């Protein structure tokens, strides 16, 4: 494995250098960097042309100019990166460091959501092939895949930001027609997801409709959207449901040890909800402490799993770890909700909490929860925009891969042995269906970098997309090449991780 990784890294270096050379030559011949300088008054023109020429080495042949740029970039191997200067004589290193964090945050969030939701939707639609759910998912997937990213971004700004903010200003109350429509839509989705006979599906759909109706009515009369929170009862219900779902997927409800582990971890998490509100959630919270709490929650789940024991302690430990992480996430979301009203009433927000521009609110004062809420409200629209485009790809590929695997001979053999459907799907089919998805995810990450350029323009983010587009308009090669190098390295790293994932998913694949 180590030999394989070293070989791939060395090959990636040469590939990146070759691709960078082609890109640099194209950018160098794409326009005139001296265009703005030539438009200045005669008294300033000569000095401006001389300054830009010296800054960008325009008196040198583009081929040799590339090697001058490459010499500075090669310093990254010894911790002295130099991406040169732009036309305004600003070091590109500073521009890149300021833009890279925001772009990585956006790409990472949209990729994680698209992969998780896309694979889940694709697998469910494959298991419910030719059902109403399958046809609906197929229609939406092709719709989002066909729509341009900037169009989706503009639509979301209008619906989920401008109109939703106005809706919150009026108290966040739904009309009876909206309550019935939303409840009916949720019931139809539940009806489509549930397998079995029609009577059973209708019964579950009716129950979902009633629950959704009551929840929507409570949200309206309590003005819950203005001051949201979950509370210990809802946290307990959600944690139990997630715990049961995790147990079903990992071990099955027939595995009592895993079930007891999951429910015990949920009980511990709910019992700790109240003291967590005072320590450490109240003052001095940070991401380092949050990660530490997550690690503790996972370790508690592992410990409970091993304590219950059983024939497969490792399986119970994995179930407990996942349940602990899920319960901790619900408690984290509840605490963020409790900061919503304070955030919305902040003078810098002015009652418009869903933001449509910039990656953060300037001059916003507040603690960890206010700042985190601000980050999420700025991320939500561009993340959803990028996610919807990728979601279509992941859902279609995962559906096709799952259908192909489910028709294999070893799946029929597993069923003939009397294995449960959960075991057949999760242990035999799902893992093998993920193998081609590793390649798709790697390519999609590269595509997201390009999609982020348009998305950042729509939402006014001064990040990698802005660095690239501005450099391209001014025929300024150094910012464009900084964007290109970062994008190339991310793509190479994604493909390397995909190759390693092959060996992890299929032990028959050996990397050497």
SS3 letters for 58-119?
CCCCHHHHHHHHHHHHHHHHHCCCCCCECCCCCEHHHHHHHHHHHHHHHHHHHHHHHHHHHH
Residue ranges of alpha helices (H) inside 128-163 are 132-146, 149-156
84-109 confidence digits (pLDDT tens): 898 888 899 888 888 888 888 888 88
Specify the length of the chain in residues: 512
**Minimum mean pLDDT range among 48-57, 188-197, 277-286, 471-480:** 277-286
pLDDT band at 510 (very low <50, low <70, confident <90, very high): low
Is the confidence at residue 349, as pLDDT, over 80?
yes
Residues in a beta bridge with 139: none
The CA distance from 299 to 321, in Å, is 7
**Minimum mean pLDDT range among 1-15, 127-141, 183-197, 284-298:** 1-15
Higher-confidence position of 21 and 440: 21
How buried is residue 507: exposed, middle or buried, by Cβ count under 10 Å (0-12/13-18/19+)? exposed
Domain ranges of the chain: 2-82+475-505, 97-172+223-448, 173-222
Identify the pLDDT of residue 369: 92
Identify the pLDDT of residue 512: 52
Mean pLDDT of 116-140: 88
pLDDT band at 227 (very low <50, low <70, confident <90, very high): very high
What do you get for the CA distance between the two ends of the chain, in Å? 5
Higher-confidence position of 267 and 142: 267
pTM, full prediction: 0.86
Mean pLDDT of 275-285: 78
Identify the pLDDT of residue 511: 54
**Short-list 327, 335, 331, 332, CA closest to 264:** 327
Identify the pLDDT of residue 475: 85
Is the confidence at residue 208, as pLDDT, over 80?
yes
Residue ranges of alpha helices (H) inside 339-408 are 340-344, 368-406
Is the confidence at residue 451, as pLDDT, over 60?
yes
pLDDT band at 284 (very low <50, low <70, confident <90, very high): confident
How many percent of the chain have pLDDT more than 90?
Answer: 38
The CA distance from 351 to 132, in Å, is 40
Two tokens at 340?
């919503």
The CA distance from 361 to 377, in Å, is 10
**Short-list 216, 194, 218, CA closest to 205:** 194
Identify the pLDDT of residue 66: 93
Identify the pLDDT of residue 400: 92
Residue ranges of alpha helices (H) inside 309-367 are 313-338, 340-344
Identify the pLDDT of residue 142: 86
Give the Å distances, CA to CA, from 232 to 121, 220, 266, 327, 377.
30, 21, 12, 11, 25
Identify the pLDDT of residue 495: 83
**Short-list 64, 8, 33, 25, CA closest to 475:** 33
Average model confidence (pLDDT) for the chain?
A: 88
């Amino acid at each position: 494995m180590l030999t394989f990784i070293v070989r791939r890294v060395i090959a990636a270096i040469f590939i990146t250098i070759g691709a960078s050379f082609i890109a640099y030559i194209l950018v160098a011949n794409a326009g005139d960097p001296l265009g703005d300088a030539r438009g200045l008054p005669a008294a300033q023109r000569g000095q401006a042309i001389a300054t830009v020429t010296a800054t960008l080495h325009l008196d040198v042949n583009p081929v040799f100019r590339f090697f001058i740029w490459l010499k500075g970039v090669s310093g990254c191997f010894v911790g002295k990166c130099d991406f040169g200067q732009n036309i305004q004589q600003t070091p590109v290193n500073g521009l890149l460091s300021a833009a890279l964090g925001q772009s990585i945050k956006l790409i990472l969030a949209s990729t994680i959501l698209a992969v998780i939701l896309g694979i889940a939707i694709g697998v469910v639609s494959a298991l419910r092939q030719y059902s109403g759910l399958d046809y609906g998912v197929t229609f939406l997937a092709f719709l989002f895949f066909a729509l341009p990213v900037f169009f989706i971004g503009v639509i979301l700004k209008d619906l989920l930001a401008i109109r939703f903010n106005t809706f919150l200003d009026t108290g966040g109350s739904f009309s009876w027609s909206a309550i019935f429509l939303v409840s009916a839509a949720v019931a139809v989705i539940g009806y489509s997801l549930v397998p079995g006979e029609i009577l059973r599906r209708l019964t579950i759909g009716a129950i979902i409709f009633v629950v959704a109706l009551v929840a929507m009515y409570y949200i309206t009369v309590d003005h819950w959207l203005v001051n949201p929170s979950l509370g210990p009862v809802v946290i307990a219900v959600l944690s139990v449901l997630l715990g049961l779902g995790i147990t079903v997927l990992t071990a099955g409800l027939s595995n009592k040890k895993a079930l007891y582990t999951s429910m015990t971890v949920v009980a511990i998490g709910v019992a700790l909800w109240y003291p967590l509100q005072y320590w450490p959630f109240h003052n001095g919270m940070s991401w380092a402490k949050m990660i530490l709490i997550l690690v503790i929650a996972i370790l508690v789940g592992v410990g409970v799993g091993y304590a219950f024991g059983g024939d497969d302690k490792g399986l119970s430990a994995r179930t407990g770890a996942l349940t602990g992480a899920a319960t901790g996430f619900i408690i984290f979301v509840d605490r963020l909700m409790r900061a919503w009203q304070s955030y919305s009433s902040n003078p810098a927000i002015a009652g418009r909490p869903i933001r449509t521009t910039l990656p953060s609110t300037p001059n916003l004062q507040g603690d960890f929860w206010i700042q985190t809420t601000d980050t999420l409200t700025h991320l939500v629209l561009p993340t959803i925009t990028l996610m919807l485009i990728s979601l279509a790809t992941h859902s279609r590929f995962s559906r096709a891969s799952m259908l192909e695997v489910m028709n294999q001979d070893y799946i029929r053999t597993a069923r003939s042995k009397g294995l449960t459907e959960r075991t057949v799907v999760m242990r035999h089919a799902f893992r093998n269906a993920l193998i081609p998805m590793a390649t798709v995810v790697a390519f999609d990450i590269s595509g997201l970098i390009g999609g982020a350029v348009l998305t950042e323009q729509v939402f006014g983010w001064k990040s990698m997309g802005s660095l690239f587009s501005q450099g391209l308009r001014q025929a300024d090669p150094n910012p464009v090449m900084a964007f290109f190098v970062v994008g190339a390295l991310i793509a190479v790293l994604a493909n390397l991780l995909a190759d390693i994932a092959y060996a992890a998913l299929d032990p028959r694949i050996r990397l050497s």
